[in-house]
Amino acid sequence: MEKAKFRMPTAYTILFLLIILVAVSTWLVPAGVYDYAGEAPVAGTYHPVTASPQGVGAVLKAAFSGFYDAVDVCLFILMVGGFLGVVMKTGAVDAGVGRIIQRLGGKEKWLIPILMLAFGLGGTTYGMWEETMAFYPLLIPVFLAAGYDAVVGISVILLGAGAGVISSTVNPFATGIAAGFAGVSLGDGIVLRLAQWLVFESAAIWFVMAYAARVKKDPSRSVIGVGAGKLRANMEELVEFTPRRKLIMALFTLTFLVMVYGVIPFDEMGLPLPVLGWWFPELSALFLVGGIVIGLIDRMSEGEIAETYVAGCADLLGVALIIGISRGITVLMNDGQITGTILHWGEKALEGAGPVSFVLLVYLLYLPLTILIPSSSGLATLSVPVVAPLGRFAGVEGDLVVTAFQSASGLVNIITPTAAVVMGALALGHVPYDKWVKYVWKLILYFFLLTLAFLMAGVALG
């Protein structure tokens, strides 16, 4: 009798195990907090508080607390699902994808660098990350139809935007917040970060194109198998691209362009363009209206639009649940009051280090902190006010502390199971988490070593 092979647990199980691990930590790690000046903790003010260990009840409620905390993101995902459900029923996407593949005529590989550069620009300028969730159901079928696997489709978005987020040049949600707490301007260190983005984005494009070429030549070299999972694209019978479907695709594209425009903080980037200041509630409304309008253009009945939209929401319900569960980990840490203690341990470890040692230790410190606190803006708010003052004693400028922070945060968030975008993207592509790790670990290592080199160069040039 053959032994049963080990199978990687689902994303839900991995996240629940992490919740249990954090809960156990609240019984072992001393509770402590910092004093705050506004929203920022004050360096040197850490003090112990009464322990608040999290028991079985807290573990069971953590996922729901996380869902409440991330309800805006979760609803956005559901609205995108409904929108895509309506659009897919019209046949416009199938017809449009078929036309794209037909016109590329064997040159589909150029979609990879073009799209990765676009997502990379979004990542480095305004921190395009959660918003990428809307693109996975759209682009994964395109790459499947082109003869690749779901990993290529996920990589184009996740690694394209991820390389940009790692080297955020003017990203107001990570770099901007961190720079403010570090007492430097958004422009300080931008030359180093721009060089970092060019190198990292190039490395990511090379990595994905090399893998895609191997899969196209020999499908057996795919880490999951071509067409694996439920998302498949069959272009053997091309759907006719009628004028009505062309109009639907135009509105479909316009919806995504409006989404991108709506979230970019042009004022904080110094650009003279009107700022909409949209976030998830407005984006959810955008996709709701877009789905209804497209349904009406396709001459669906009121009941058909409603049923199709709800069915589309149901398709992405699992992704929304994953996002909520992952947020529950941070909620549990805060309830157990161990976040401050972990930050304090890092503060003590950094004391007395020289410039090079300090900046490298800051980078290494942020790697585990990002696993526990995946939100870049939240991590910046919690930690930079504590870490940046220590840098001044070590002879390290605030802009290098910011670069170390964002590089670590961006790197971890393309592989950690606590990152909602990673787990959500893998769920959409039906790619097991262990397969993703097996595929991406070499690029993670390249990024890690390159970051060390950039930080040391920053110290030398400073």
Residue 139 lies in a domain: yes
Cα distance between residue 378 and residue 364, in whole Å: 18
- Number of structural domains found in the chain: 1
Q: How far is CA 6 from CA 1, 9, 131, 434, in A?
A: 15, 9, 34, 11
Measure the CA–CA gap between 462 and 370, rounded to whole angstroms: 26
Whether 19 is in a domain gets the answer no
Could you list the residue range(s) of the whole structural domain that residue 183 is in?
29-39+56-461
Give the type of residue at 173. F
Predicted pLDDT of residue 204? 97
What integer pLDDT is reported at residue 414 of this predicted model? 94
Asked if the structure places residue 22 within a domain, the reply is no
Q: Which two tokens stand for residue 327?
A: 């947020």
Cα 448 to its chain centre, rounded Å, is 18
pLDDT reported for residue 324:
81
Q: Residue type for 412, please?
A: V
Question: Tokens standing for 84?
Answer: 């895509």
**For the chain, which ranges sit under pLDDT 70?**
1-8, 39, 97, 225-239, 269
Which two tokens mark 183?
């007492």
Can you tell me which residue has the tokens 């363009």? 273
pLDDT of residue 299: 92
Question: Among 373, 435, 314, which residue's Cα sits nearest to residue 9?
Answer: 435
Residue with tokens 């004093």: 35
Residue 414 lies in a domain: yes
- Asked if residue 154 lies in contact with residue 431, where contact means CB atoms within 8 angstroms, the answer is yes
Three-state SS letters, the chain: CCCCCCCCCCHHHHHHHHHHHHHHHHHHCCCEECCEECCEECCCCCEECCCCCCCHHHHHHHHHHHHHHCHHHHHHHHHHHHHHHHHHHHCHHHHHHHHHHHHHCCCHHHHHHHHHHHHHHHHHHHCCCHHHHHCHHHHHHHHHHCCCCHHHHHHHHHHHHHHHHHCCCCCHHHHHHHHHHHCCCCCCCHHHHHHHHHHHHHHHHHHHHHHHHHHHHCHHHCCCCCCCCCCCCCCCCCCCCCHHHHHHHHHHHHHHHHHHHHHCCCCCCCCCCCCCCCCHHHHHHHHHHHHHHHHHHCCCCHHHHHHHHHHHHHHCHHHHHHHHHHHHHHHHHHHCCCHHHHHHHHHHHHCCCCHHHHHHHHHHHHHHHHHHCCCHHHHHHHHHHHHHHHHHHHCCCHHHHHHHHHHHHHHHCCCCCCCHHHHHHHHHHCCCHHHHHHHHHHHHHHHHHHHHHHHHHHHHHC
Which pLDDT score, from 0 to 100, does residue 162 have? 95
The pLDDT value given to residue 232: 47
